[in-house]
Amino acid sequence: MTTLKRKTHPRTVGRFATALIAAAVMGASAQAVAQDDDPIKVGILHSLSGTMAISETVLKDTVEMLIEQQNEAGGLLGRQLEAVVVDPASNWPLFAERARELLAQHEVDVVFGNWTSVSRKAVLPVFEELNGLLFYPVQYEGEESSENVFYTGAAPNQQAIPAVEYLINEVGIERFALVGTDYVYPRTTNRILEAFLKDEHGIAEEDIMVNYTPFGHSDWQNIVSEIRRFGEEGKPTAVISTINGDANVPFYTELSNQGIDAADIPVIAFSVGEQELTGIDTGPLVGHLAAWNYFMSVDTDDNYDFIDAWIDYTGDEDAVTNDPMEAHYIGFNMWAEAVRKAGTTDVDAVKDAIIGVTVPNLTGGYAAMMPNHHITKPVLIGEIQDNGQFDIVWQTPSTVAGDAWSDYLPGSRDLIADWRAPMRCGNFNVVNGSCGGSTAAEEAEAALAE
Amino acid sequence: MRRFLSLGLLCLLLFSVTVTAQAQTSATVEADDAAALELLEALDVRSYPAKGEAIIAILQSDDERARDWLQSLLDGRLQRTDDGRFVVVLENRGRDWPVADALTGEPLGDMSRRDLDRIGINNALRNQLRSAIAVVDLYSPDVERRRTSATRLLGEVDEELAAPLSELIAEEEDAQVKRRLTQALAIYQVESGELEGVETLRGSLHPRVRVALNRAANGDDPIIADAANEALISIEQNLKINRGLETLYFGLSLGSVLVLAAIGLAITFGVMGVINMAHGELIMLGAYTTWAMQQLLPGQPGLALILSIPAGFMVAALAGVAIERSVIQFLKGRPLETLLATFGISLILQQLVRTGISPLNRTVITPEWMSGSLVVNDALSLTLNRMYVLGFALVVFAGLMLIMRRTRLGLEVRAVTQNRAMARSMGIRATRVDIMTFALGSGVAGLAGVALSQLTNVGPNLGQNYIIDSFMVVVFGGVGNLWGTLVAGLSLGVINQVLEPWAGAVLAKIIVLVFIILFIQKRPRGLFPQKGRAAEG
């Protein structure tokens, strides 16, 4: 608006006023014309080098593809979109630096980025300080709600909890091995799951085995053989795997080498998707499970269109799509919708406009942005097939709203997040009726650390 | 599920007794297609239990295509087109899939996956299907099929299946099938409270037998429970020995990986004294060579793997020479700078692979003869790929020892490392020896990569995961001593695997590191220190 004012000649003031009224009447689209023609800048904060590049590079490409599609469809508010790509190189402190660069130097209107929780924690203060928008597309451990972050991946109640209920109710599992990589996501998730199994389903202590391994663990012989023995005690046993990224390939190879069949001991994974399976011969893994909110094998036209667009964009006939890609698809469309609704890319306006925005997901339903900055998602359980895809064997009857604070952890159970006008709080304590500020979150974390 | 299974078996038995004797009339063949379509239509329902019933119906039908249908349903290849025909997908990769008619078996060309709906199954149905196929296969003339089928039936036998099973046992000629079927029957007997079954199961190490005995031991019948407990105790003792052997094998196999990764370093670092942080990336190059070979020779993963052994050696050796000539030779005697420079090279190599090939892991196929495991007994089976790697590590070690001890190159290398000036004055071209030694060490790293491609991810980060372990092994074993590397690698592997079940993977790693640090305090030159004047140099 400022540029327009400078150009305005006194005699045109009247016309300008008319235009303003017209804009107010015609709403968002007319207002868009009045804005400057500079492209809208979309920041992409995904590692293109280092250990996480394996997972994050495709997400960068996804956002770029979505931007391209949006531009072909005429852009947003009559303006074109422009991607600003930076490489935080799988280096957590560098994430914060790059985020600052995106917000302060490039002045991007929105950022899509991050994979690991530790990198998200690193950029959080930057986004809060500079008032940016971050769309985070990966399933995570919960226990967080920031005014500036939108969590389009699954919270534990949208992945882990329904998956365990599926195992107990549909498969009849009575014994659980919780196996994970040694960092914050598996530890928090397993803590929630342990509490959930013991309190809600009365599973005994000796029927739960917990095991953590370092990042990139490659020698699984002993652990797999331990799991095999754990499963031979007479009760139906399942493995809940929060093993991260690279370590999965040798884990699954060892499972098949030691002849652990999904029919005997099914493994349900929360971090293994189509992408991770591209490095493995899935023949011996048929029947092992994964819980996600999207699978490439979803049989909807929206999904096939997305896959075809992705294959055309990458030029690779064998390119696969996965859950975090769908999360970006949803997040991008939600943001675009909120910008249209607000008629501006202004961060505060978009933040208010986006709550309640509903866009189609790729699984034939709709995703809505909740006041706690999490979205509604269906939960799907898939079984691995011999072609590296998942066959969906179960799904929740309706979508599940993401829960920022787990109901199964002491301290966290009393907190809710609501970023709408009167409350505007990410950790409101319903017991003492106050917005906890940082202390409640710290208490929850302290409770976690115990 | 078991009820369905036995119903199926019962009918099949009746069928095999009464119908097979008679000749099938042509009228039944004509009526078959309508009936067959009906059988398959029953599968196309949402509810899994209903699908289960449909599977029984197929099993009960005397259609000779039944096994094929069940198998393709099990493989997820039985699908339905938009116009309602049932087809079997022959190849399900890419966007269009070749299909064949499920009833006639005639090929129908390619079809878009958008027009196909698969008949989905879940783990429970998969179990049922496997058992159903196993029941069909019990009558198969093929011994292998009967063996798989008999093993499959352990713990799956029930009342209706028990009687025909004892007849089958009496008729069976193959000893292995006979033993398995007897055990399967005995598990049923234990479950139905017959003490006799426990006696039969005594001594068997099969997991499903243990599951059955464990259940019986926790059961209501005190006599059976006592007998089961007693049988379990003797099984447990036997298992303990097997577990010990298993842990030893795990340790040796982990050790062999460490030895392979470290032995190249033992030459470049141990013998030449060059701290090469890019050693891991040379391993990675070897692994990528295997991948490239498999891309060049599609359909022949075994041959490609064997050819990768020389190819991986050459690629890594050439890369090593390039590194030595371009960087390391200028930094001779400046270990800190060598360390930093080679660390830079390692990052460059990683990123080259990431941008040049892909940041994603590459699929390296394990050849048929390397997958699976060697079954020693029901409780102990040794994974084949690791056994090959263990053997390969020993062969590489022996080869290297030969080169160092028995060839002129080895002699020259030892001479140059012991006293460079003296060796040069004796007419040895020290620079050439440097290049050759570095090439040898790097080439061996390439060999390690070829082997590791069978065990772990082939991706840009492959090397990083092994560099620390490699240095650890070399330092622990004693710098400059190949035997030390071998002993250190294998023993660290075994120590790690013994500690792991007890302390967890993370703690086991820490304990091993602390142990090495303390050990190095006591014996700074490692397990096998170099003796004599070379040690001071």
- For every residue of B219-248, DSSP letters joined together read SS-HHHHHHHHHHHHHHHHHHHHHHHHHHH
Average pLDDT, integer, range B337-356:
92
In the numeric block, which tokens belong to residue B121? 């199954």
Contact residues, chain B, for A318 at CB < 8 Å = 93-94
The residue of chain B nearest to residue A47, with distances taken between CA atoms, is B359
Instruction: Return mean pLDDT, chain A.
Output: 86
Pick from B47, B119, B123 the residue to mutate for testing the A interface (most A CBs within 10 Å): B123
CA end-to-end span of chain A, whole Å?
54
Percent of chain B exceeding pLDDT 70 equals 92
- Chain B contact for A221, CB < 8 A? yes
For residue B79, the model assigns a pLDDT of 87
Examine residue A90 and state whether it is found in any structural domain, yes or no: yes
ipTM over 0.85: no
**pTM for the model:** 0.79
Asked if B505 lies within 8 A of A246 by C-beta distance, the reply is no
Examine residue A184 and state whether it is found in any structural domain, yes or no: yes
Cα–Cα nearest to B482, from B300, B289, B305, B271: B271
Rounded Cα–Cα distance for residues A333 and A337 (Å): 6
User: Cβ atoms within 10 A of the Cβ of A147, count?
Assistant: 16
**Closest Cα of chain A to B499: distance in Å?**
10
For residue B3, the model assigns a pLDDT of 46
Instruction: Give the HSE-up count for residue B98: Cα atoms under 13 Å, Cβ half-sphere.
Output: 6
For B267-297, b/e burial (b = at least 16 CB within 10 A) is bbbbbbebbbbbbbbbbbbbbbbbbbbbeee
- With cut-offs at 50, 70 and 90, classify the pLDDT of residue B85: confident
- Using N-to-C axis directions, what is the helix angle for B159-171 and B2-14, rounded to 10°? 50
- With cut-offs at 50, 70 and 90, classify the pLDDT of residue A24: very low
Higher pLDDT, B3 or A258: A258
Q: Which of B354, B500, B509 sits opposite A49 (nearest CB)?
A: B354
Percent of chain A exceeding pLDDT 70 equals 89
Examine residue A408 and state whether it is found in any structural domain, yes or no: no
Asked if A258 lies within 8 A of B354 by C-beta distance, the reply is no
Asked if B505 lies within 8 A of A216 by C-beta distance, the reply is no
Higher pLDDT, A159 or B364: A159
Asked if B505 lies within 8 A of A311 by C-beta distance, the reply is no
Pick from B46, B118, B122, B190 the residue to mutate for testing the A interface (most A CBs within 10 Å): B122
Same structural domain for residues A150 and A166?
no
Contact residues, chain A, for B384 at CB < 8 Å = 257
Pick from A85, A221, A285 the residue to mutate for testing the B interface (most B CBs within 10 Å): A221
Q: pLDDT tens digit string along B40-51?
A: 888 888 788 888
Average pLDDT, integer, range B327-337:
89
Rounded Cα–Cα distance for residues B371 and B452 (Å): 14
Cα–Cα nearest to B365, from A319, A284, A220: A284
For residue A444, the model assigns a pLDDT of 55
- With cut-offs at 50, 70 and 90, classify the pLDDT of residue B29: low
In the numeric block, which tokens belong to residue B291? 């991948």
For residue A212, the model assigns a pLDDT of 92
> Using an 8 Å Cβ cutoff, are A63 and A329 in contact?
no
Looking at the predicted structure, is the pLDDT value of residue B424 above 60?
yes
Higher pLDDT, B9 or B230: B230
Contact residues, chain A, for B496 at CB < 8 Å = 219
Contact residues, chain B, for A225 at CB < 8 Å = 246, 250
For residue B118, the model assigns a pLDDT of 80
Same structural domain for residues A255 and A387?
yes
Question: Which range marks the domain in which residue A228 is found?
Answer: 157-298+381-401
**Closest Cα of chain A to B371: distance in Å?**
7
Percent of chain A exceeding pLDDT 90 equals 56
| A159 class by beta-carbon count within 10 Å (0-12 exposed, 13-18 middle, 19+ buried) | buried
Looking at the predicted structure, is the pLDDT value of residue A12 above 50?
no
**Closest Cα of chain A to B520: distance in Å?**
24
For residue A325, the model assigns a pLDDT of 96
Rg of chain B, C-alpha, whole Å: 31
Asked if B360 lies within 8 A of A278 by C-beta distance, the reply is yes
Surface of A (222-241) touching B: CB under 8 A: 222-223, 225-226, 228, 231-234
Q: H helices of B298-429, where? A: 301-326, 335-356, 384-406, 408-418, 420-425
The residue of chain B nearest to residue A167, with distances taken between CA atoms, is B123
Q: Which of B92, B361, B386 sits opposite A54 (nearest CB)?
A: B361
DSSP collapsed to 3 states, chain A: CHHHHHHCCHHHHHHHHHHHHHHHHHCHHHHHHHCCCCCEEEEEECCCCCCCHHHHHHHHHHHHHHHHHHHHCCCECCECEEEEEECCCCCHHHHHHHHHHHHHHCCCCEEEECCCHHHHHHHHHHHHHHCCCEEECCCCCCCCCCCCEEECCCCHHHCHHHHHHHHHHHHCCCEEEEEEECCHHHHHHHHHHHHHHHHHHCCCHHHEEEEEECCCCCCCHHHHHHHHHHCCCCCCEEEEEECCHHHHHHHHHHHHHCCCCCCCCCEEECCCCHHHHCCCCCHHHCCCEEEECCCCCCCCHHHHHHHHHHHHHHCCCCCCCCHHHHHHHHHHHHHHHHHHHHCCCCHHHHHHHHCCCEEECCCCCEEEECCCCEEEECCEEEEECCCCCEEEEEECCCCEECCCCCCCCCCCCCEEEECCCCCCEEEEECCCCEECHHHHHHHHHHHHHC
Residues 6 or more apart whose Cβ sits within 8 Å of residue A206: none
Q: pLDDT tens digit string along B173-210?
A: 888 888 888 888 888 888 887 888 888 888 788 888 88
Interior angle at CA A121, CA A118 and CA A126, nearest 5: 135
Asked if B363 lies within 8 A of A318 by C-beta distance, the reply is no
Asked if B93 lies within 8 A of A318 by C-beta distance, the reply is yes
In the numeric block, which tokens belong to residue A33? 């014309």
For residue B148, the model assigns a pLDDT of 83
Examine residue A410 and state whether it is found in any structural domain, yes or no: no
Provide the 3-class DSSP secondary structure of residue B87.
strand
Q: pLDDT tens digit string along B378-396?
A: 778 888 889 999 999 999 9
- Which residues are A268's β-sheet partners? A240, A289
Rounded Cα–Cα distance for residues B359 and B458 (Å): 10
**Closest Cα of chain A to B460: distance in Å?**
8
User: Cβ atoms within 10 A of the Cβ of A247, count?
Assistant: 24
Looking at the predicted structure, is the pLDDT value of residue A343 above 70?
yes
For residue B30, the model assigns a pLDDT of 54
Higher pLDDT, B284 or B501: B284
- With cut-offs at 50, 70 and 90, classify the pLDDT of residue A347: very high
Residues 6 or more apart whose Cβ sits within 8 Å of residue A231: A175, A177, A237, A260, A264, A265, B207
Task: Report the domain count for chain A.
Answer: 3
- With cut-offs at 50, 70 and 90, classify the pLDDT of residue A411: confident
- With cut-offs at 50, 70 and 90, classify the pLDDT of residue A445: low
Rounded Cα–Cα distance for residues B220 and B332 (Å): 77
Q: Which of A226, A258, A279 sits opposite B457 (nearest CB)?
A: A279
For residue A166, the model assigns a pLDDT of 92
Higher pLDDT, B284 or B88: B284
Which fold, B242-364+379-536? Answer: ABC transporter involved in vitamin B12 uptake, BtuC (1.10.3470)
Same structural domain for residues A262 and A389?
yes
- Which residues are B160's β-sheet partners? none
Chain centroid, CA B47 distance in Å: 35
Rounded Cα–Cα distance for residues B195 and B214 (Å): 14
The residue of chain A nearest to residue B350, with distances taken between CA atoms, is A50
Phi, psi dihedral angles at A200 (to 5 degrees): -90, -30
Asked if B455 lies within 8 A of A253 by C-beta distance, the reply is yes
Strand A289-292 with A380-384, pairing: antiparallel
Q: Give the Å distances, CA to CA, from A47 to A89, A172, A199, A248.
A: 5, 40, 39, 20
Rounded Cα–Cα distance for residues B489 and B259 (Å): 5
**Closest Cα of chain B to A51: distance in Å?**
6
For residue B86, the model assigns a pLDDT of 86
Contact residues, chain A, for B351 at CB < 8 Å = 49
Examine residue A407 and state whether it is found in any structural domain, yes or no: no
Higher pLDDT, B58 or B514: B514
Residue ranges per domain, chain B?
A: 77-118, 242-364+379-536
Q: What single letter denotes the amino acid at residue B64?
A: E
For residue B375, the model assigns a pLDDT of 83
Q: pLDDT tens digit string along A88-138?
A: 988 889 999 999 999 999 999 999 999 988 899 999 999 999 999 999 999
Average pLDDT, integer, range B338-347:
94
The residue of chain A nearest to residue B122, with distances taken between CA atoms, is A393
E-strand stretches of B83-131: 86-89, 96-101, 107-112, 116-118
> Using an 8 Å Cβ cutoff, are B109 and B121 in contact?
no
Q: Which of A54, A231, A280 sits opposite B459 (nearest CB)?
A: A54
Average pLDDT, integer, range A298-327:
92
In the numeric block, which tokens belong to residue B214? 């464990």
Strand A237-242 with A175-181, pairing: parallel
Looking at the predicted structure, is the pLDDT value of residue A5 above 80?
no
Q: Is the dihedral of CA A125, A130, A131, A133 positive or negative?
A: negative
Same structural domain for residues A187 and A282?
yes
For residue B459, the model assigns a pLDDT of 86
Asked if B122 lies within 8 A of A383 by C-beta distance, the reply is yes
Q: Which of A214, A221, A263 sits opposite B123 (nearest CB)?
A: A263
Average pLDDT, integer, range B148-170:
81
**Closest Cα of chain A to B112: distance in Å?**
11
Average pLDDT, integer, range A28-36:
45
For residue B325, the model assigns a pLDDT of 93
Average pLDDT, integer, range B473-502:
90
Same structural domain for residues A112 and A256?
no
For residue A443, the model assigns a pLDDT of 55
The CATH code of the domain at B77-118 is 2.30.30
Pick from A212, A227, A232 the residue to mutate for testing the B interface (most B CBs within 10 Å): A232
For B331-345, b/e burial (b = at least 16 CB within 10 A) is beeeeeebeebbeeb
Query: Which H or E element spans position B169?
Result: helix B159-171
The residue of chain B nearest to residue A246, with distances taken between CA atoms, is B457
For residue A322, the model assigns a pLDDT of 93
Examine residue A409 and state whether it is found in any structural domain, yes or no: no
**Closest Cα of chain A to B224: distance in Å?**
16
| A182 class by beta-carbon count within 10 Å (0-12 exposed, 13-18 middle, 19+ buried) | middle
> Using an 8 Å Cβ cutoff, are A386 and A282 in contact?
yes
Residues 6 or more apart whose Cβ sits within 8 Å of residue A137: A59, A112, A152, A153, A324, A325, A327, A328, A331
In the numeric block, which tokens belong to residue A422? 């009167």
For residue A4, the model assigns a pLDDT of 42
> Using an 8 Å Cβ cutoff, are A46 and A59 in contact?
yes
In the numeric block, which tokens belong to residue A13? 């003031």
Asked if B75 lies within 8 A of A386 by C-beta distance, the reply is yes
**Closest Cα of chain B to A404: distance in Å?**
30
- Chain B contact for A199, CB < 8 A? no
Q: Which of A251-260, A392-401, B276-285 is the least confident region?
A: A251-260
Q: Which of A250, A262, A278 sits opposite B123 (nearest CB)?
A: A262
- Using N-to-C axis directions, what is the helix angle for B430-452 and B279-296, rounded to 10°? 60
Q: Which residue has the tokens 């290398």?
A: B413
Contact residues, chain A, for B458 at CB < 8 Å = 279
Residues 6 or more apart whose Cβ sits within 8 Å of residue A442: none
Contact residues, chain B, for A48 at CB < 8 Å = 354, 359
The residue of chain A nearest to residue B48, with distances taken between CA atoms, is A393
Average pLDDT, integer, range B104-109:
82
Phi, psi dihedral angles at B119 (to 5 degrees): -85, 105
Q: pLDDT tens digit string along A60-87?
A: 999 999 999 999 999 999 999 999 999 9
Q: Which of A54, A228, A256 sits opposite B359 (nearest CB)?
A: A54
Average pLDDT, integer, range A167-172:
90
> Using an 8 Å Cβ cutoff, are A174 and A203 in contact?
yes
Cα–Cα nearest to B520, from B508, B512, B509: B512
For residue B533, the model assigns a pLDDT of 54
Q: Which of A221, A281, A304 sits opposite B250 (nearest CB)?
A: A221
> Using an 8 Å Cβ cutoff, are A37 and A79 in contact?
yes
- Using N-to-C axis directions, what is the helix angle for B430-452 and B222-265, rounded to 10°? 160
For residue A53, the model assigns a pLDDT of 82
> Using an 8 Å Cβ cutoff, are B182 and B162 in contact?
no
Average pLDDT, integer, range A9-21:
48
Instruction: Return mean pLDDT, chain B.
Output: 84
In the numeric block, which tokens belong to residue A65? 């593809």
Cα–Cα nearest to B114, from B94, B143, B132, B136: B94
- Chain B contact for A447, CB < 8 A? no
Asked if A214 lies within 8 A of B506 by C-beta distance, the reply is yes
User: Cβ atoms within 10 A of the Cβ of A300, count?
Assistant: 14
For residue A25, the model assigns a pLDDT of 45
Rg of chain A, C-alpha, whole Å: 23
Q: Which of A373-382, A435-444, B99-108 is the least confident region?
A: A435-444
Contact residues, chain A, for B386 at CB < 8 Å = 221, 257
Asked if B94 lies within 8 A of A392 by C-beta distance, the reply is no
Average pLDDT, integer, range A187-215:
91
Contact residues, chain B, for A212 at CB < 8 Å = 504-506
For residue B534, the model assigns a pLDDT of 52
Q: pLDDT tens digit string along A230-251?
A: 988 878 899 999 998 778 888 9
For residue A15, the model assigns a pLDDT of 53
Chain centroid, CA A63 distance in Å: 14
Examine residue A125 and state whether it is found in any structural domain, yes or no: yes
